[in-house]
Amino acid sequence: MNIRKFATLSICLLLMLSVGGCAAERKPLFKTRPGVDAYYISEPGGIDSWPSLQAHADLLNEISPLWYHVKPDGSLQKEVNPQALAFAQQHKIKVLPLVNLVPSQDAILLDPAAQDRAIANLTQEVQTHKYDGIDIDFEFIPDSKHKDFSIDRDKMTVFMKKIYTKMSNMQKETHMAVLPHVGVPSEMAGVYDYGALAPYLTKVTIMCYDHSQAGSPPGPVAPFSWVEQNITTAIKQGFKPEQICLGVATYGYDWPAGQSGGFSRPTKEIAKQAAVKGYQVKWNDKYQEPYYTYPGEGGSERVVWFENEATLQTKLDLVKKYNLAGVCIWRLGFENQKFWDRIATTWGKK
């Protein structure tokens, strides 16, 4: 080997060790791909989450299956799906089961002994099934007496601190789903003290959907400006951008025109109905969301607002703009293939 060639190879080797290689070998450095997380629900009738989990394992980073319900005494109602768990773990999809309450009231926060039992039971489940952590979804719905659950604000933080301590000691993650603070009644959303909760959460999902819902008049499910305002508010109130998973919907609502009393429908069903029936889907520039009207029974007009792949794109753009952790989908089984095509095109596989 001549001296000149040897010198060239030596320089190339040094470059490879120091900056990743000579120009011909250098690969572009990309920012870490945002996460794609999803809620998993076992429900028959063509909307079970299982087919979506199987079909899109290459795009999913995490699932939060609704398998646990905490009772007022701290005991658990369990609905673990061994098939889904085994599949997710085999395909390197993190599993952090979603935990809610039965009934949806604050009894668990008012009884320290019940809290400790609930946390001990959940810890045991994490160990038994080798979960990657736990995802708490405690939403308190005001009763007929209009109870203001914001009075439980500090108690909620104490509860989450207890769980976080347990999970951290096991090298597990603590996630939580919270209601938005903008445009949501304070008696519901006020229970979440964003700044106080932030140190005790690995990740938080801001549930930016249901701006309009069954009990409201017709309107957008997740209007763009409202979603963005809730992101900036969450950051100002204490969550780090890299903690925040933006909740995105895969459904819509169907109302009698101009009235409340609607019902939710999966996006795939809504889109199919419009295509088969020939209903004209329109786009609202102000809200950045599609809608359409159609004749109901007796000729009365009905209106549908819904989330789809186009609204998803606006949410993916917000994740990039604010450097968020990713998106969290409510829920697997409601979406159509175009939804996944948009994720694949924008972010690629995991």
d(CA 246, CA 228): 10
Query: For residue 146, which phi and psi values (nearest 5 degrees)?
Result: 60, 45
Q: CA–CA separation, 11 vs 254, rounded Å?
A: 67
Answer yes or no: is pLDDT of 29 > 60. Answer: no
CB 195 within 8 A of CB 153: no
Structure tokens at 274: 């419009």
Non-local CB neighbours of 101 within 8 Å, separated by 6+ positions: 69, 70, 108, 138, 139
Indicate the range of 31-45, 70-84, 244-258, 325-339 predicted with least confidence.
Answer: 31-45
Three-state SS at 154: helix
- pLDDT tens-digit readout, 263-283: 999 999 999 999 999 999 999
Taking a C-beta distance cutoff of 8 angstroms, is the pair 305, 253 a contact? yes
- Name 299's Cβ contacts closer than 8 Å, sequence gap at least 6: none
More confident residue, 15 or 299: 299
Q: Could you give the count of Cα atoms lying within 13 Å of 279 in the half-sphere of its Cβ? A: 22
| Plot region of 205 (φ>0 → left; ψ -120 to 50 → alpha; else → beta) | beta
CA 156 to chain centre: 20
Please answer whether residues 221 and 252 qualify as being in contact, where contact means their C-beta atoms are separated by less than 8 angstroms: yes
Least confident window among 146-150, 184-188, 241-245, 334-338: 146-150
Q: How confident is the model at residue 23, as a pLDDT?
A: 34
Contact 188, 151 (CB under 8 A): no
Tokens of 209: 């959907």
Give tens-digit pLDDT for 105-157: 899 999 999 999 999 999 999 999 999 999 999 999 887 676 899 999 999 99
Closest CA to 35 of 245, 176, 209, 228: 245
- For position 341, what pLDDT does the model report? 98
pLDDT in the model for residue 31: 60
The per-residue DSSP string of 123-146 comes to: HHHHHHHT-SEEEE---PPP-TT-
Comparison of pLDDT for 119 and 5, the residue scoring more: 119
Does residue 97 register a pLDDT over 60? yes
> Which pLDDT value is given to residue 18?
36
Domains and CATH numbers, the chain: 35-250+309-347 (3.20.20.80)
pLDDT of 45 = 83
User: What pLDDT, in 10s, does the model give residues 300-325?
Assistant: 999 999 999 999 999 999 999 999 99
Question: Both tokens of residue 195?
Answer: 């700044």
Residues 6+ apart with CB under 8 A from 29: 20
What is the spatial distance between Cα 32 and Cα 98, in angstroms, rounded to a whole number?
A: 25
Q: What is the pLDDT averaged over residues 219-225?
A: 98
Phi, psi at 327, each rounded to 5°: -120, 155
What 3-state class would DSSP assign to 110? helix
CA distance 270 to 327: 22
DSSP classification of residue 332: T
